[in-house]
């Protein structure tokens, strides 16, 4: 896939601002003050994704509202840090903001975040936001200071689909497949329940592993599948909508506490608006990626019938009990109570 040549430094800002859906910043003139604060925002996906666009929107808003006094450097595509080291880099203060998927918090001692990985848990994004924007979401973020971190908010990508070099329509279709997963015990259990072998790999390594045949397939929302060019090495994408992928924006606690109150308020307000922006565009981003995938013609796209989804849902039922054995009982009861109110 030929990605457009990276624009020169001058019009790159316009390109990023356009991607983030905002007016172009006032030209970089001698009047722009040297930044007093530079926020380093590292993430692992392409810029043309909900997370990438949210990060760029955040950059534009912070720099505009601070008059350039606060600068935001966004490092997409795991340019700076990837799945293996972004959280540690944040804890060490080597970066100031990351936005990992909720599937990646279990390995820093917060397995309760894997509630979001339970397959077929959510029927739609409204059901997700009832959790992330409600008391249970706040309670989940309260665990982060134990790790020297502060959770600033949740936002969506969307629902995950399954890909491989064969149609994945029935549980038996997964038998023996090596499926790349995120570092989540729930997602690994999901793949095993389907008869597949979970292989945990960093997101940035996935495309290469698929091309080399190290893994046979994977799962992700279409925006990630498309922007990583996985369609070039996967013949089949099954629209299973079997699980949710979302994010939490996290900062280093010391960094956050040492900001001047006005700067902290400006940054937080810009971030909350950027997360709302991401939630507004997430569905459209995934729809746009699916359309582009269909037009590329490289990958057969399969819609599942209600009976087929029911059989997949039945096959992964055991996963919920396995998670319940790993987290404090109140998390499951809190989740069930919150879902009843949705």
For residues 200 and 272, which CB has a smaller minimum distance to ligand LMR in the complex? 200
SS3 category, 39: strand
Cα separation, 171 vs 196, whole angstroms:
9
Going by C-alpha positions, the residue among 226, 22, 78, 51 that lies closest to residue 154 is 51
For residues 182 and 190, which CB has a smaller minimum distance to ligand LMR in the complex? 182
For residues 42 and 157, which CB has a smaller minimum distance to ligand LMR in the complex? 157
- DSSP for 50-70 reads HHHHHHHHHHHHHHHHTTTSE
For residues 266 and 281, which CB has a smaller minimum distance to ligand LMR in the complex? 281
Residues of the shown chain interacting with ligand LMR in the complex, contacts defined by CB under 6 A: 44-45, 51, 101, 157, 182, 203, 220, 224, 245
Provide, rounded to whole angstroms, the least separation between the CB of residue 178 and ligand LMR: 16
Going by C-alpha positions, the residue among 47, 276, 242 that lies closest to residue 152 is 276
For residues 220 and 299, which CB has a smaller minimum distance to ligand LMR in the complex? 220
Provide, rounded to whole angstroms, the least separation between the CB of residue 20 and ligand LMR: 17
140, two tokens: 């989940």
Provide, rounded to whole angstroms, the least separation between the CB of residue 169 and ligand LMR: 22
DSSP state of 302: E
220 phi and psi angles, rounded to 5 deg: -175, 160
For residues 70 and 248, which CB has a smaller minimum distance to ligand LMR in the complex? 248
Cβ(99)–Cβ(78) under 8 Å? no
Provide, rounded to whole angstroms, the least separation between the CB of residue 316 and ligand LMR: 18
SS3 category, 85: coil
Provide, rounded to whole angstroms, the least separation between the CB of residue 86 and ligand LMR: 10
Provide, rounded to whole angstroms, the least separation between the CB of residue 339 and ligand LMR: 23
> Which residues, including other chains, have CB under 8 Å from residue 223's CB and lie 6 or more apart?
48, 49, 50, 157, 158, 282, 285, 286, 288, 289
């Amino acid at each position: 896939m030929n990605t457009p040549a990276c624009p020169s430094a001058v019009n790159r800002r316009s390109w990023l601002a356009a991607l983030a859906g905002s007016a172009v910043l006032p030209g970089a003139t001698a009047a722009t003050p040297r930044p007093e604060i530079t926020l380093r925002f590292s993430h692992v996906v392409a810029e043309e994704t909900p997370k990438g666009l949210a990060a760029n929107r955040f950059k534009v808003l912070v720099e505009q509202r601070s008059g350039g006094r606060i600068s935001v450097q966004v490092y997409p595509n795991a340019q700076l840090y990837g799945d293996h080291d972004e959280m540690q880099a944040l804890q060490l203060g080597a970066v100031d903001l990351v936005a990992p998927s909720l599937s990646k918090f279990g390995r820093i001692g917060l397995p309760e975040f894997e509630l979001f990985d339970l397959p077929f848990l959510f029927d739609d994004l409204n059901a997700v936001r009832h959790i992330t924007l409600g008391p249970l979401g706040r309670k989940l973020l309260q665990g982060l200071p134990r790790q020297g971190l502060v959770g600033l908010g949740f936002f969506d990508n969307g629902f995950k689909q399954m890909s491989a070099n064969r149609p994945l329509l029935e549980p038996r279709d997964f038998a023996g497949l090596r499926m790349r997963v995120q570092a989540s015990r729930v997602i690994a259990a999901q793949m095993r329940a389907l008869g597949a072998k979970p292989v945990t790999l960093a997101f940035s390594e996935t495309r290469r592993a698929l091309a080399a045949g190290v893994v046979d397939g994977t799962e992700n929302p279409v925006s990630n599948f498309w922007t990583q060019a996985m369609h070039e090495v996967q013949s089949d994408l099954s629209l299973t909508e079997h699980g949710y992928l979302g994010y939490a924006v996290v900062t280093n606690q010391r960094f956050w506490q040492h900001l001047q109150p006005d700067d902290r308020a400006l940054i937080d307000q810009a971030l909350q608006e950027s997360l709302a922006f991401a939630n507004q565009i997430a569905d459209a981003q995934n729809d746009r990626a699916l359309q582009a995938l269909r037009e590329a013609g490289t990958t057969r796209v399969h819609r599942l019938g209600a009976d087929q989804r029911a059989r997949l849902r039945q096959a992964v039922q055991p996963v919920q009990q396995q998670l319940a054995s790993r987290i404090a009982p109140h998390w499951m009861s809190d989740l069930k109570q919150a879902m009843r109110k949705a």
